[in-house]
Amino acid sequence: RVKVNGKNDYMLHSGDMDHIAIEKLTIQHEMHSALRNQEFVLHYQPQYDLASGQIVGMEALVRWQHPERGLVSPAEFIPAAEESGLILPLGEWVIEEACRQNKAWQDQGLLSIPVSVNLSLRQFSQQNLTGKISEILRQTGLDPRYLELEITESMTMDVERASQYLQELIDLGVNISIDDFGTGYSSFHYLKNLPIARLKIDRSFVRDIEQDPSDAAIVAAIISMAHNLQMQVIAEGVETKDQVHFLRSHRCDEMQGYFGSPPLSSAGAQGLLSEKLNGPALPNYH
């Protein structure tokens, strides 16, 4: 019999549990102490303007620096954090750390560019998210226009509520983007009614953009729709020069992906920012 996590009081018989359930409980238990021991770190992936080649933003991506397992990817612990509720303190730490780091870079005279932070459904629906973010912005001294919050289509199912939450966030001065666009439940209704600054085209549409005519058509349509709705559009998971050419010729605004740079440690990102203070940073630009 194991009992993990004082708050949720899981009481389970080990005989009843399959391997996956045990693993999940172990992760949930370990994550509590990991948060206390500051084992989570943020990596930053640059985003590039496709016309100028300049770095125009960074996405903060959380990793777990596990004492035995090394650097653990978010896919392995975000779902468990969502389920246990630990995503709330973890997510708050992510926002705080991203804002603190961005302000520190600006104070050092590095390129002033926004940082994007991923929100989970549970975080988005929590009580007083706006109050928490407002407090973080005040404490870190970051100008709100340098913070972008990434949500997914599934979080906007209830358009009425979502627009109310989003409007509160926008009133703070932060920007909203839709992550993994095209993979979730999409309704033109929400695009029409929500104040969204930017669409991020999911990697799955970008991958075969040169071979698959359907993907090419979908990406071209997303770009033109976004522009007609006065939204910016960024392609995710861009890995090749040919993808860059396609996106550029279809007037996509920005790109993010291994072709530009993989996610970097904060030291790596800082190095890149100080090198590329001015001028194009995208490899093989023009």
Interatomic CA distance for residues 124 and 80, integer angstroms: 17
Tell me whether residue 186 or residue 193 sits nearer to ligand C2E (CB atom).
186
Rounded Cα–Cα distance for residues 82 and 152 (Å) = 15
Out of Mg ion, ligand C2E, none, which partner does residue 257 contact, by CB within 5 to 8 A per kind?
A: ligand C2E
Tell me how far CA of residue 148 lies from CA of 171, 192, 231, in angstroms. 13, 20, 14
Regarding 140 and contact with ligand C2E (CB under 6 A), the answer is no
Q: Could you give the string, one character per residue 210-249, with x where binding to Mg ion holds by CB under 5 A and - elsewhere?
A: --------------------------x-------------
Question: In whole angstroms, how close is the CB of 73 to ligand C2E at the nearest point?
Answer: 4
For residue 29, what is the enclosing H or E element?
A: helix 19-36
Structural tokens at position 192: 């029409």
224 binds, among ligand C2E, Mg ion, none (CB under 5 to 8 A by kind): none
Query: Hey, which residues between 170 and 189 contact Mg ion (CB under 5 A)?
Result: 179-180
153 binds Mg ion (CB under 5 A): no
Applying CB under 6 A, among 180, 215, 253, 254 the residue interacting with ligand C2E is 180
| Cα-Cα-Cα-Cα dihedral sign, residues 25, 26, 31, 32 | positive
Q: What is the largest CA-CA distance in the chain?
A: 62
**Dihedral (CA of 39, 34, 258, 229) sign:** negative
- 218-237 residues in contact with ligand C2E (CB under 6 A) are 236-237
Q: Is 148 in the site for Mg ion (CB under 5 A)?
A: no
Q: Residue from 118, 120, 134, 152 that binds Mg ion (CB under 5 A)?
A: 118
Nearest in space to 234 (alpha carbons), one of 192, 175, 179, 170: 179
Contact 176, 170 (CB under 8 A): yes
The contact set with Mg ion (CB under 5 A) reads: 118, 150, 179-180, 236
The contact set with ligand C2E (CB under 6 A) reads: 45, 61-62, 73-75, 78, 91, 94, 118, 120, 179-180, 203, 236-239, 257-258, 263
